[in-house]
Amino acid sequence: MKLSDVAKKVGVSPITISRALRNPEIVSEDLREEILRTVEEMGYIPNLAARALAGRHNGIVAVISPALHQYGFTGLMVGIEDRFRDTDLTVQYSNTLHHAEGEAGLLKSFLTQKPAGVIIAGAESYRELLPLIENAACPIAHITDLSQEPQKLVVGLDHYTAGAEPTRFLLSRGYNRIAFFGRGADVRSRRRIEGYEDVMRQAGRFDPDLIIGGDAPSRTGLGRELFARLVERVPDVDAVFAQSDELALGVLIECKARGIRVPEELGICGFNDLEFSAFIEPSLTTVSIPRHDIGYRVADMLLRAIRGEPPGEDRVDCGFSIIARGSTR
């Protein structure tokens, strides 16, 4: 099925069909409805490669992420999708699984396809990416830790502070032997470890034995395993700051199995404020990241750049909040 077949059926030129599909607002409402109805009836699928050759881009926004498999990324995806839903752009995702060496290769692959734009949603390193970004023919937006290199089209937060403030919160609630659960597998997690360490040192409470991670991704079972290992080597631990709500849930389950009272004997703070965190017993104190807002705002920045409009803000700190619930005093 070709564009010319649709044009013949409707009785207009192929260029009119192309314009209606690419920029539907420039044709009359009656004609637009007839064209869209005919396209659906005939099963016409636009050739994106041909579109890229004929125009500036292929109509696709590429999203490069390290963690499509993690629950915390879902909110970002929904925010990105919500912003692009009523446009003529399509979103395509790719997952690096935290492998920094694959980031530049993926970006190169996308750029050869003439995308409308790219969102890099959490790069591990910009050393090899920056030359590609500077020479790209399309705009590239970023979700980052705000310590990283990009200075424009950036939405993110300061993960150092997101590690420091929850640690201060736990100290303020009377906990002293506070463990940190997380692998430090990416730059954001490492920045949170730095924030945790600095606050614990300032309080005179730092102990390297209280930092523990695992080789597996953050999951509930790993939380149980890590806590079991922790109490063997640091039996007087009285709080855990876990780098995901799944890990924190595993700690809570292991505490119940061992008869450890939460929050009286052990405080637990998670990260991401996933839906279940408010409904378990006790409910989970956690760090809430505005994931939908981050996704929506970075998509809006990119869309403005694609359209040649001013970005509004070039660099946005979306921040975080600590949600105090039943798992801490």
The tens digit of pLDDT for each residue in 154-205 reads 999 999 999 999 999 999 999 999 999 987 778 889 999 999 999 999 999 9
pLDDT at residue 52, rounded to an integer: 45
Average pLDDT, the chain: 90
Q: Report whether 16 contacts 7 (CB < 8 A).
A: yes
pLDDT at residue 270, rounded to an integer: 97
> Tell me: the pLDDT tens digits for 130-153?
989 998 999 999 999 999 988 899
> Tell me: the pLDDT tens digits for 5-22?
888 999 998 888 877 877
**Calpha distance 266→256 (Å, rounded):** 11
Q: How much is the average pLDDT of 88-92?
A: 91
**Calpha distance 40→8 (Å, rounded):** 15
pLDDT at residue 216, rounded to an integer: 61
Q: Of the spans 20-29, 297-306, 308-317, which averages the highest pLDDT?
A: 297-306
Q: Of the spans 27-31, 58-62, 83-87, 172-176, which averages the highest pLDDT?
A: 172-176
Q: Which amino acid, 296?
A: Y
DSSP designation for 268: E
pLDDT at residue 50, rounded to an integer: 52
pLDDT at residue 208, rounded to an integer: 95
pLDDT at residue 118, rounded to an integer: 97
Q: Which amino acid, 210?
A: L
> Quick one: tokens of 106?
């993926």
Using alpha carbons only, how large is the chain's radius of gyration in Å?
A: 24
53 pLDDT above the threshold of 50? no
* Residue given tokens 């100290």 in the structure block: 171
246 pLDDT above the threshold of 50? yes
Phi then psi dihedrals of residue 167, to 5 deg: -65, -45
The percentage of the chain sitting over the pLDDT mark of 70, rounded to a whole number, equals 93
Q: Is the pTM of this model over 0.95?
A: no
